[in-house]
Structure 1
Amino acid sequence: MKLRSRHINFSLLVITLLLSNAIYSQKQQQTKFSQKQLDEITRQYRLSNVDSLSLSERLGYVSYYLKGAYLSQKDSLIYKGLLQKTWLLGVAKQYDSAIIYTRQLYDRAIEKKDTFYMQKALLKFGIYHKKNNQLATSFKCHTERFKLSKITKDTITSGRSLLDMANIQTSLGDFSGSKTTAIDGVRYLEKTADLRNLAGLYHIISVANKESKRYDEARIYNEQALALGKDSFSINTIGIKNILIFKNTKALILAAEGEYQKAIRLLKTLESDTILQQDKNEYARVLSNLGHLQWVDGKENKYSEKLLLKGLALRNEINDVGGLMSSNIHLTRYYFEKDRSKALKYAEAAYKNAKIRGDLVFIIKALGYIFKLKENVNKEAIVYDQTHHKLQEINQKNREIYAVTKYENEKLADENVILTKEKDKLTNQAWIISLLLIMSIAGVGYYYYRQQIYKKRFIQLLGKDEHKDTIKTSAIYKTGVSSSISEEALEHLLTQLQQFEDQKGYLAPNINAKDLAKSFGSNSSYLSIVINTYKQKSISQYINDLRIGFAIDKLQSDPTFRKYTIKAIAKDVGFNSSEIFAKKFFKNTGIYPSYFIKKLEM
């Protein structure tokens, strides 16, 4: 019986093992991605790269490939498919869809902690948001990419990210910011073989200097960009198209310096370049610039109009909205004295293109001409004011984001290095104690340093004879204002503002732009334009600066006033709270009112 029992148990064990193996093999067959399947999706991927096929067909093939890639659960295949899908969607100008698939790429890279593909995704985010003219979002994406590249010590990607950021700042008219960013980028790339992007950074710096009227510096950086293309290899690396763009910029620099004939000769050489003629975007740019400069050099030049209209037609043909804005502005200037109705037509076309593209810089530029050519511009004046403020806010925010990122990157990079070196708990504790000690010493040092800075600012403040930020009625009648406001209305507003300052009307609490403008017999849009133009400030900033100036003067001259509480002083000079007063006082002077009073009493 025992022998029989053993045989039965052995038989059951064998059967169990066979069944388990069969089930396991079946599961393996279900989940294993066969070579045949791999070959098939590889074929689909190759088809998505065939240029002779339509974009819709190529997108269909890559979608099929992606399905197989996800079934395979292989990250390398999934990354490859998502990169191809987003690229094709970008070529098809389906930028919103490209952003959606880029999100899938980014999320997977984060899940896998793959910094390489995180950077790839952030680059694509930056590109597609820029194509959608979401420039602030694009700038943030490139900034995040720069942050990652700093952590991974990837100097090439750091430099390229800064180039992308500088390009966006240039598009937003922030030439000072773009120059600073691009110079930082040069530091990363100047000792590398990345000639293409280094040349791009030199070009951005050149453009920024030209727009800031620093023509000597603009010429130097333009020559540096061109000098990188010293042979056929380097020219091919930089790109012949980019070299031609640099030469176009050189012509504009020459023209800005008054060297019109040299500029025109250079543009004519570019116009006849067969390589440039194949690129309709750049060819139209050269035609438009050449027509414009020939007109500037000689108002009666008979070829100018023909070239300007040819450039416009070419840009219409390829639907280059950005180029159309420039062409329409050039034609506005051309017809301004010859035919004002035509000039207005082109100015409004430029305004329309700028709104379609969401280009804040060109909206302001186009409105500047519309103000000069149109009778009733109340609506346009409001748009101008809103756009001006929005552009200022975006540029300021972009600068702040980059400044914070630079600081955080250095801090995170240091922490990353330290953490990798820490082996055990005792070492960590020793490091923390050392760090706290250093921070304590640094804190004490920083406190005394700040005290010295405050003291210096206090002395400088005492040395100023005038703290009020006034508008003089004898100020030059600026073109930007005259375009929207008559000379008589402007003089009236300037007189009212001077009386407002002389009579210390700014000390009244709860002043708002609408009521102030109404008391002047005007409207808030006109008042805002005047203050923006003559003081480069908003209405609220202008009033707050006057209040702070008054507070400084009175605190120095009136010992009794110094005995008041900060809250009482704030109320006396028109602020509703001591916190707002202290904040504005510090912003204007670099010190707090309590410190200022304390030093005056010593």
Structure 2
Amino acid sequence: MKNLTYKTIVFLGFFVLNQMTGQVVSEQAKKDYDTLTKYFQKHTKDSIKSKIYAKAFLLKAKLENNISRQADGYYMLATISSNEKALIYADSVIRLTKEKDNYVYPAEAHLLKARIFGSKGEYQKSKDELIQANLYANKNENIDQKFKTKYFIAILKSNLGEYQESSNDLRSIVAYYKNKFDQDQKYEYDYIKSLYALGDAHNGNKKYDSAYAINKKAVRSSLHSKDSSLYGRLLLSSGITHYHKKQYQQGLDSINKLKKISTFRTQSNGTLVRADFFLGKIYFEQSDYEKSIHHLKAVDSFAFSKQYFFPSIRNTYELLIRYYKEQENTEKQLFYIDKLLSVDSILDNDFRYLSRQINEEYSTPNLMLEKQEIINSLEKTNKTKVIFVILLSITSLLLIIILIRNDQKKKTYKNRFLELLNDKNPVVDNTKNTLTKRSYKNEQDGIGISEIIVNDILKNLSAFEKNKEFLTPNLTVSGLSKQFKTNSKYLSKVINIHKNKSFSNYVNELRIGYVVEELKSNRKFRKYTIKAIANEIGFNTTEAFSKSFYKTTGIYPSFFLKQLEKQTQNSKTQEIA
């Protein structure tokens, strides 16, 4: 009865706590996403608070039916949960976003799962997730995710004993994250992590001096970093380097320091089992067999209980067999021979197959993609070159046409100038601007102008031309008809028929004819500006004068003046000669 009462109390306590937590989550869900994200990031080391903010974020997203934000919420929960729950949350992210066009997901969720499976030694599952992450990263052209995937593949290769390939990948990864870290401090962890991985790969490649230099740089960076979570792994890598350099005491110091900090800072299974593995090897080299066998047996126990195997683990059983052989303990010797055969079978079946799959499903597609990108780039370059050549050809052709036309224009202008200089009629025959001649009698009959009026108007026009009254500014047909004491329509018609042009053309051509002769004979007048000349002969603007000059003579006044100046200079030269 007492037990039942106690269980009831505990159940009620959990129920009340969940109710209170639910109320807090609901209240927090009223905040905006940015605020909840900020609070979540601030309290990531406090599992209770961080979970409240992550759940509030997810609740808000569900209430708003916001799929993208729901994925963010599940991912937040995954990053602060145990491996088993994290995998479930990651699957929720993938389920929500696998059919969506999302730059971050589901690739980020696949990467999270790959890391979890890798830490558990489940390399086949880790590889499968990395293949999926790589597909989405390539599809979205997400460079960060491509390098995250490349990093995990490099780690997987190291775990499979393919250290040279891993080193080659990790050099580019270190360079990428160093560049990103120089630009943004948030990439510090990724940079230090890549340094650690490269140092570890150098150990595998037996490049111990390189590994030592890399580890030293990484340790220094880790100690200066706010996030020192990588420090334990760096101690292990340093210990491995010391072991290979036969610096056994330094190796023990580094790895035992890792063991010490692992009591208050969680380390991955891979880090802990390798710590025991190398402690066993170092103590064996020092002939401290009791300690060595203790650590080697810990490795064996962990490997089979967790199904966590890696290529170099077989050395554990080789040392155990060797030890019991020297002890003449055939029973134990046979026991560990059988264990080694089992390990070899696992490694042969899983790791060789896995290594082949990495090449087939990750490296080969990436190489094919890279090859296609190069082909596309070359095709694009070739297309660009073809387009450039075509445009250059068209431009050259147009330039040649323009030059030919300009040359023809210059010749035409020059001929026209010479005609004007030799006292020929300045008026150009321009059918577009000159009225077609019509029968005077038909026109006269059409408007009923008497011959007396016509003769009177012609007499006035003759005087108008002789007295150069056309130089008067702002002349109009209305104003001139009043001056002639006649009807403006009559004046306009007489000019149309007898002068074969409109009133404005008639006046403008008289002005241009006058100015041409004046410029030819009056050197002082040539020194005027175009504007001054225009005003002098009755035009209100330079533009109106230039247009009228061109329309009448076929050349522009500026050209006419330049040619006159050249003629003058040539004459002077001839006189001197």
User: TM-score, normalised to structure 2's length?
Assistant: 0.47
Larger radius of gyration: 2
User: TM-score, normalised to structure 1's length?
Assistant: 0.46
